[in-house]
Amino acid sequence: MMNSRITAIGTYVPQRKLTNADLEGMVDTSHEWIVQRTGIHERRIAERDEFTSDLCISAVRNLIFRYNKTIEDVDFIIVCTTTPDFPFPTVSCLIQAHFHIQSAGAIDISAACAGFSYGLIMAHSLIASGLHKKVLVIAGETLSKITDYSDRTTCILFGDAAGAVLVEADDQYEGFVSHHVGSEGKGGIHIYRTGLANKLGDQKLLDNSCIVQNGREVFRWVMRTIPDAIHHMMNNSSQTLNDVDWFIPHSANMRLIEPLCEKLEFPLERTLHSLVEFGNTSSSTIPLSLDQGIRSGKISSGDHALLYGFGAGLVHAGVLVRLQLDSVVNEPLPL
């Protein structure tokens, strides 16, 4: 089996900020209430004419600029999103067309907040099989377009962002150590996106599509499921949690991350998240948190990072990676 590693990363967030003070004028809430319950101070919101593919393209451009990478020879593109520009064509095909990548497979996967982890596992599998050598994995969301800004329980959470990584074949360096995936579809009623036919109601056609969440039940599922899944993944690797340098869970909510770390007995100070400035950006929270760790100098070459996503479906997926990115050529601009 061919080894693979993440060689480059790029991220992008829209310029427009939605602060807690802004939300105070929209719904019955306060900055203190939001911070106490979520840890979020602000989030980025796409413009009306800015869509998921635009964010993904900007994240890939950031990757190319920082690492001086060539992507014309990418042979597979995976985009992880629940908010595509269109049902079809896929965002991955829009990416392929924009960058003139001539000979690449292109698919979108919908695994909500676990999407990036699923994408990495698929990329590694494609390379390990010997069928592909260079895979572009992108996670991008414009959740603001499906957020109900009259619902104070959900509108305080979500923001827009994108992150991209290159996964390349490497015959010497083992970048992917272990992984685990799972699902519990019966819990799908606890977080879903309404559609034209509301299967959970009276089949009435709905004018808008938005996120509906039972946060309490999602919390219970995470606490019941994810710690055991992580222990299972670590047991199938040559590492233990003591060997993990950085834990990067999906940045859902600090009220979820803190008890998750407590249950795992993993130090919160070695847990990375992107909540404070960017909120919950679904599939893109993990690459955004990873990139913040790299930009800040916290993450060093050779560090082991445990990436674990979980969310609507209900689905979850994790991957333990040993990080050895290529050298940065151009320092990135601040997000």
Residue position matching structure tokens 């950006």: 281
**C-alpha to C-alpha distance for 315 and 191, rounded to whole angstroms:** 11
Active site includes 261? no
**C-alpha to C-alpha distance for 28 and 97, rounded to whole angstroms:** 44
**C-alpha to C-alpha distance for 167 and 315, rounded to whole angstroms:** 23
Residue 178's H or E segment, with its range, is strand 176-183
Catalytic residue among 179, 250, 273, 316: 250
Active site includes 236? no
Question: What are the angstrom distances between the C-alpha of 161 and each of 25, 98, 189, 228, 232?
Answer: 24, 19, 25, 29, 31
DSSP of 222-251, one letter per residue?
A: HHHHHHHHHHHHHHTSS--GGG-SEEEE--
Contact call for residues 106 and 92 (beta carbons, < 8 A): yes
Catalytic residue among 56, 80, 93, 113: 113
Starting at the edge strand found earlier in the chain, the sheet holding 4-12 runs: 4-12, 160-169, 134-142, 76-80, 105-109
Catalytic residue among 20, 62, 253, 280: 280
**C-alpha to C-alpha distance for 254 and 287, rounded to whole angstroms:** 17
Active site includes 113? yes
Positive or negative: CA dihedral 202, 204, 207, 208: positive
Helix (H, G, I), strand (E, B) or coil at 298: coil
Q: 207 CB contacts (<8 Å, ≥6 apart)?
A: none
Closest CA to 46 of 112, 144, 146, 113: 144
Beta strands 76-80 and 134-142 are parallel
**160 is written with which tokens?**
């827009």
Provide the annotated active-site residues.
113, 250, 280
